[in-house]
Structure 1
Amino acid sequence: MSSYCINPLCDHRQNPDDTEHCLSCGTLLLINDRIRLVKPLRPLTDDPFNYFEVFEVDDAGTRWNPVRKQRVIKVLKWKSPKLVKLIEQESLTLQLIQHPNIPESTLDDFFTFVPKNSPLTLRCLVMDKFEGQNLEQWIEFNGKISQSLALEWLKQLVEILDTVHRSNFFHRDIKPSNIVLQPSGQLALVDFGTARRVTDTYLAKVSGSGGTSAGREGIYEITSVITPCYTPIEQINGRAVPQSDFFSLGCTFVNLVTATPLSNLPTEEKTGNLIWRKDAPQIDKPFADFIDELMAPLPGQRPQTTEVILQRLENLPKQIKNYRLANSNIFKYSKYTLMVLGFVGGVFLSIPLAANYLVAQGQKLEAANNSQSAQEYFDSAIKINPQVKNSISKFYFDKASRSTQKLRSAKKYYELSIKYNNQDVDTYNNLAFVCQLLNEFECVTTNYEKALKLKPDSWSGHYGLGTFYDDQGKKDLAEQQYQLAIKSNSQAIPVINNLSRLKNLKGDYNAAIALALQGLQKTKEPKLQAALYKNLGWAKLEQKKLSQAKEYLEKAGELDPQRADTYCLLAQVQEALGDNDNSWLNWEACLILESKVPEVFRWRGDVLQRIRLKPDSPQIGTNP
């Protein structure tokens, strides 16, 4: 076993394992008293365009990684500001995103090192190594994958991407060579060197606002990430968005199911879309349609979130089964038999019985996920007896309510329920909420507006519309809807809590305090109380009333120990009070606990940025 010298200017870098210093240049071989370079994972060359070197390392561990394990180090050789920024961004990305199939890297894993008698300052990033082959290598030896394996792998990758996107990042370079198949059968997503954080500044660059040279520079940085055949047009044009990852994901699976380089596949003359299905006969039409949807030319034509993709993947096996059934002779004969029975029932039975018979048959077909045939029966039943409309509407409403975890199905059923009864407020509200989860924004506003037109004083409708505007960052519109909801129902504590949080975000701290106190008088539910105490502490922190802020935030933590935002705020209070040891403990909780709240990601980013810029700061980063 050898030890390699980290100095890229060294003439002979391979050394015996028992050597402490490089025999050629004298550089220390044990970096930071913990890391020994075992073997290069890329060729070691003098090419000036080879900016990074990558080694497998033996890592003795730190307080963050106490277990000795094989890891990887990425070493930036040249001091280019853009390259320095890239490796710093990769370090921050891997610290913020926590997933077992994404490389782990902590605060101690990013550092600088100066080789002996060298003018270079090396920037080093250590991360976990995943054993196994990348999928580019795997496909080369194993050939195209089956439909069942494609469905399994796609689900695994989207679950990983779900964590990435929820952490406000997107990868920007998904391709088979950046996906590792581990011996366990699990996939890992690697190489976050080009990952991008979704920030207001980034969105401003993407939207083309500003028109300044700085804006053009931002676009130049974005457009530099291009992998031929895998990069969507908006990313090539400097306007990458999270849905750009879905395009690359679709291209990746075309490569996996065809075992053909994408550059060798023909394209449609007018659209430029890949023509690939004849090279993947094992893929049924519903799945092939979905892969093509992932690769749609425009981001808005692709699924909008990872959650939507996971819901679609859950339904795909049934759709594939029904597709095969619908194209079989048995199904065709069965369909005609049922239609004849329905006709016989209409002739020989009484009208109500015939209609009920058709409704029952329709329900059975819907239960088998054959919606088109089910609606044929329902429409026939209504022609015989229009009074069955309400029972059909209720059937679909109940089915939608049981499908809230399957958003696409729930949406379809709510829409069908409205088709048979367009006067039900709850159906419109529920449909709007499902559309909000699916990020179908026009559907959200349209259905909330229809619900409020039917019942203007519906507090739940105003609350739902308010949360939608809140998520979109439209604070004034959100506040207007929250006020209307409270006017309709002064006991609606979730609305009071949301409005209090919104007041804090807008800097109206006195109003936030008044609302939080109002809510605390009206609820005994611990989690709601915790949220309200958190809002109180937040407002007091911003008003520099630190003792009161600390008291309220500690109370919030006692009532609900799983709220990340409480710990983020309490850490800031303790920093301001000079209690650095407890502040650090609360920052750790802030970083570790799960949260979907935007301000939590902002606070996490701020503290990690401070730690990175000031690693020796006495306020943060020391373990008591």
Structure 2
Amino acid sequence: MSYCINPLCNHRQNPNSDDVEECLSCGTSLLINDRIRLIKPLRALTDNPYNYIEVFEVDDAGTQWNPVRKQRVMKVLKWNSPKLVELIERESLCLQIIRHSGIPRSTIDDFFTFVIHNNSLTLYCLVMDKIEGQNLEQWLEFNSPISQSLALEWLQQLVDILDTVHRSNFFHRDIKPSNIILQPSGQLALVDFGAARQVTDTYLAKVSGSGGTSTGRGGRYEITAISTPLYSPLEQVNGKAVPQSDFYALGRTFVHLITATQLIDLPTDKKTGNLIWRNKASQIDKPFADLIDELMALLPGQRPQTTEIVLQRLEKLPQRIKNYRLANSKIFRFSKYTLMGLVFVGGIFLSIPLAANYLVVQGEISEAANDSQSAQEYFDSAIKINPQVKNYISKFYFDKASRSTQKLRSAKKYYELSIKYNNQDVDIYNNLAFVCQLLNEFECVTINYEKALKLKPDSWSGHYGLGTFYDDQGKKDLAEQQYQLAIKINSQAIPVINNLSRLKNLKGDYNAAIALALQGLQKTKEPKLQAALYKNLGWALFEQNKLGQAKEYLEKAGELDPQRADTYCLLAQVQEALGDNDNSWLNWEACLILESKVPEVFRWRGDVLQRIRLKPNSRQVRTNP
């Protein structure tokens, strides 16, 4: 059969024949955009006004970007209200930019409008690759709750997909079992990006509610709230979704999968608001359950902040589960209490150093099993027996914090514990300040950098760290002051020279930026630092309209470090100014896809994405420098 695209047609089903070119009922062309035939609806075709999207399996003859004829999926927006058009445009842009085998692929020619001539109705059409398989809501109807090993495997796959999504500066906003497909290969796919949102400085300003005020509250922006009951966190229901909102939905999805219980049937703790589910998932060990609960934390700041953090947690989870099982085994509990009894009775059978060392080892095991309270009890008991183990314990916490820097809350706790056992180590204060900076705990940042500089006033790294803090806060003068102090102490500190050169560019002092970049290039042979300095040099020359030189230095930066998004953003702008639009577009794609936390990159991305949105069918995105 072949279906008519006209939603107002009285009889949309037509014979599946190439000879039938127009709908037998309403006369609308059955060949859409000279390439697509609608084979069957994937959702029921109804007159319900709330059913504003129709979805079809289609036969696509292909385009220059997707030349192979194949069965694909097409979404059709029936009602062209501005908000709905904006959503399907955003979904198209999202699927064009994101590249992952677990996400449907779409190209620039797969988004178009189709006008029904007999009633002038304009339909917005989005074509994407079809992902074969069964969604997890359907799969769970005929299968038992998933095991811990399968849950770990599936969570790893989904976070890997989300990692690509988030690194592309989008987030999904509608993760749930019915939007996850189990493919015949056993791999999962994430579909339906109709609610996806782009992360830009403007969007973050909107969700912060700043509205241009200094208080950060009482904003005047309107943001479309899209939510799925039971899977969407409160901030998303209120129209203030953030990337961490995806983690909440992911955690709730896995509660449904590992309990095989509808979320509405699970009780909620009246004091905390947390879902009570562990009693229905006996196959899940505490370390894994803790991670799922952390994903579902009520506030975004209490959840893991990035996909990278979740992936690191998942990598270490099997060993933590193993340690947890060991620490909770009957043999371990028996030996623990037996030994503690012997030690406190008088250490009859054990020498004092051996007893202390044993307690230190048990403290390390308890910490590995996420039993921090028992670990500190062991360590404190060991110090009472043998004070000499104090430095060892301080180093243990310092090393543990260093290994879990991306797990920021834990890192902070471990650095604070390390200071408890050794309060004269400058590196501990510097590292704690840096972790607090990542956590946006600004008082903690300044206090610990000040303590580090008080212990060692000539520490260039302390001034450098404090400078980066002021830099992140937009306090450019204070940042410059700290960078200058760091360079005065250590003229070979290339990262400081690089940051100061970048700061000069941001302040419009391009000659100073060039001088610093050249100074740094004379002092380092390290490729990544050279790339950063060449980037600053090219940036300054671009702003001075010296386009040929700017292009040369930015291309050098790209060769030395192909993963720097800011280099490609700048090179794209230089090539646009030179009229080289084809190469400019290639560099804009790299600018959009590569990971970056640099504020100016988000600004440049926002500018080009806005232009793409205004001209979705054009690959040329001209701009003024």
TM-score in terms of structure 1 length: 0.87
Structure 1 contact 135–176 (Cα < 8 Å) conserved = yes
Contact 1:13 1:22 in 2 (8 A): no
Q: Displacement of 1:547 after TM fit?
A: 2.5
Q: Over residues 35-87 of structure 1, what are the superposed CA-to-partner deviations in whole Å (9 max), with x where a residue is unaligned?
A: 33222111112222221111122333333334444322111112211111111
In structure 1, the partner of 2:128 is: 127
Distance 1:506 1:59, change over 3 A: farther
Query: Is 1:222 matched with 2:245?
Result: no
- Residue of structure 1 equivalent to 2:608: 607
Counterpart Cα distance in 2 of 1:605 and 1:66: 31
5+ residue gaps, structure 1, are: none
Relative to structure 1, the CA distance from residue 298 to residue 607 in structure 2 (aligned partners, 3 Å threshold; closer, same or farther) is closer
Structure 2 gap segments, 5+ residues each: none
Confirm whether residue 484 of structure 1 aligns to residue 485 of structure 2.
yes
The secondary structure found in structure 1 opposite 2:121 is: coil
- Once residues 219 and 382 of structure 2 are traced to their aligned partners in structure 1, the CA distance between those partners, rounded to angstroms, is 62
Q: Is the 8 A contact 1:584 1:620 kept in 2?
A: yes
Deviation at 1:258, TM superposition (A): 2.0
Label 1:199 to 1:34 Cα distance change in 2 as closer, same or farther (>3 A).
same
Match of 1:102 in 2: 103
525-534 vs 583-592, greater mean Cα deviation: 583-592
Out of 362, 384, 390, the residue aligned to residue 360 of structure 2 is 362
Displacement of 1:302: 2.7
Task: State how far apart, in whole Å, the 1-side matches of 2:186 and 2:473 are.
Answer: 39
Distance in 1, Cα, partners of 2:250 & 2:82: 30
Match of 2:296 in 1: 295
2:21 is aligned with what amino acid?
H
Name which of structure 1's ranges 465-474 and 293-302 shifts more when overlaid on structure 2: 465-474
Letter in 2 for 1:18: D
- Letter matched to residue 114 of structure 1: V
Q: 2: CA distance between counterparts of 1:286 and 1:18?
A: 59
Percent of aligned pairs with the same amino acid: 82
Which structure 2 residues correspond to residues 320-335 of structure 1 after superposition, within 5 A? 320-335=321-336
Shift of 1:211: 8.8
Q: CA shift at 1:110, angstroms?
A: 1.4
Aligned-pair distance for 1:528? 1.8
Q: Does 1:38 pair with 2:34?
A: no
Q: Using the alignment, how far apart are the partners of 2:319 and 2:447 within structure 1?
A: 30
Tell me the amino acid that sits aligned with residue 9 of structure 2. Answer: C
| Shift in CA distance, 37/138, structure 1 to aligned 2, threshold 3 Å | same
Q: 1:9 offset after TM fit, Å?
A: 2.7
Task: Check the 8 A contact 2:170/2:199 in 1, yes or no.
Answer: yes
SS in 2 for 1:549: helix
**Residues 132, 180 of structure 1: 8 Å contact kept:** yes
The answer to whether the 8 Å contact 1:311/1:408 transfers is: no
The equivalent of 1:21 in structure 2 is 21
Q: Which has the higher contact order (CA 8 A, sep 6+)?
A: 2
- The equivalent of 2:541 in structure 1 is 540
Q: Do 1:445 and 1:465's aligned partners in 2 also have CA atoms closer than 8 Å? A: yes
Moved more, 317-326 or 547-556: 317-326
SS of the residue corresponding to residue 50 of structure 1 reads coil
Per-residue Cα deviation, 1:509-531 (whole angstroms, up to 9, x for no partner)? 33322322222232233332222
**Structure 2: how far apart are the matches of 1:193 and 1:53?**
12
Say if 1:412 and 1:272 are closer, same or farther in 2 by CA, change over 3 A: closer
Distance 1:593 1:339 in 2: 54
CA contact (8 A) 1:111 1:124 kept: yes
Deviation larger for 30-39 or 116-125: 30-39
1:424: Cα distance to partner?
1.0
Identify the residue that residue 532 of structure 2 maps to in structure 1: 531
Q: 1: CA distance between counterparts of 2:342 and 2:264? A: 54
Contact 1:457 1:488 in 2 (8 A): yes
Distance 2:538 2:201 in 1: 26
* Cα gap change, 1:102 to 1:465, in 2 (>3 Å): farther
* Cα distance change of structure 1 residues 519 and 256 upon mapping to structure 2, 3 Å threshold: same
Give RMSD over aligned pairs: 3.3
Report the AA paired with residue 352 of structure 2.
A
Please tell me whether residue 49 in structure 1 is matched to residue 47 in structure 2.
Answer: no
Amino acid of the residue matched to residue 362 of structure 1? V
* CA contact 2:108–2:617 (8 Å) conserved in 1: no
With over 3 angstroms needed to count, the CA separation of the structure-2 counterparts of 1:147 and 1:87, relative to structure 1, is same
- Residues 363, 378 of structure 2: 8 Å contact kept: no
- Secondary structure of 1:501's counterpart equals helix
Q: CA deviation at 1:588?
A: 4.3
- The number of residue pairs the alignment matches comes to 613
Partners of 1:105 and 1:192 in 2: CA distance: 12
Give the Cα–Cα distance (whole angstroms) in 2 for the partners of residues 445 and 69 of structure 1.
59
User: Which AA in structure 2 matches 1:21?
Assistant: E
Distance 1:270 1:404, change over 3 A: closer
Equivalence for 1:239: 240
Distance 1:285 1:558 in 2: 47
Amino acid at match of 1:528: L
